[in-house]
Chains A and B, each alone.
Chain A
Amino acid sequence: MLRFLGRSVLSLLQYLGELAVLFGETCRALVTAPIRWRLFARQLVEVGFRSQLVVIVTGAFTGAVFAAQTFFQFHRIGMESAVGAVVAVSMFRELGPVLTGLMVAGRVGAAIAAEIGTMKVTEQIDALRALGVHPIDYLVVPRVMALMLSMPILVAECCGLGALAGYLIGTKVLGISEAYYLDTMLKFTGLRDIKMALSKGLAFAVLVVFISCHQGLNAKEGAVGVGRAPTEAVVIGSLAILVVNFFLSFALNIIYPAGV
Chain B
Amino acid sequence: MIRVRKLHKTLGSQEVLRGIDLEIKKGETCVILGRSGCGKSVLLKHFVGLLQPTSGEVFVDGEDIARLPERELGRIRKKVGILFQSGALFDSMNVGENIAFPLREAGLRDPAVIEEKVAEALEMVDLAGEQEKMPENLSGGMRKRVGLARTIVSRPECILFDEPTTGLDPIASDSINHLIRRLQKRLSVTSVVVTHDMKTAYHTADRIAYLHEGRIYFLGSADQLRHSRDPVLQNFIEGRSGDSD
Contacts and interface: CB of A to CB of B under 8 A. Distances in A.
A123 B84 contact: yes
Contacts of B45: 126
B101 interface: yes
A123 B84 CA distance: 8
Contacts of A126: 45, 50, 84, 88
B50 A124 contact: no
Nearest to B84: A123
Interface in A99-134: 118-119, 122-124, 126-134
A31 to B, nearest CB: 13
Contact of A131 (B70, B75, B86, B102): B102
Interface residues of A, number: 14
B105 A131 contact: yes
A130 B50 contact: yes
A27 to B, nearest CB: 14
B51 to A, nearest CB: 9
A130 B48 CA distance: 7
B227 interface: no
Interface in A78-110: none
A128 B82 CA distance: 11
Contact of A130 (B71, B81, B86): B81
Given A122-B86, A126-B88, A131 B77 contact: yes
A131 B50 contact: no
Contacts of A124: 88-91
Most chain B beta-carbon contacts within 10 A, residue among A118, A127, A134: A127
A132 B82 contact: no
A127 B102 CA distance: 11
Range class of the B interface residue count: 20 to 34
Contacts of A123: 84, 86, 88
A15 to B, nearest CB: 20
B175 to A, nearest CB: 23
Contacts of A132: 73-75, 77-78, 105
A127 to B, nearest CB: 4
Contacts of B90: 119, 124, 127-128
B74 A127 contact: no
A74 B47 CA distance: 72
A128 B77 CA distance: 10
A122 B101 contact: no
A25 to B, nearest CB: 9
Interface string B8-50: 0000000000000000000000000000000000000100101
Interface of A: 118-119, 122-124, 126-134
5 contacts: A122-B86, A124-B88, A131-B77, A132-B78, A133-B105
Given A132-B74, A134-B70, 19 more contacts: A118-B91, A119-B90, A122-B86, A122-B91, A123-B84, A123-B86, A124-B90, A124-B91, A127-B88, A127-B89, A127-B90, A129-B70, A129-B77, A130-B82, A130-B84, A131-B101, A132-B78, A133-B105, A134-B74
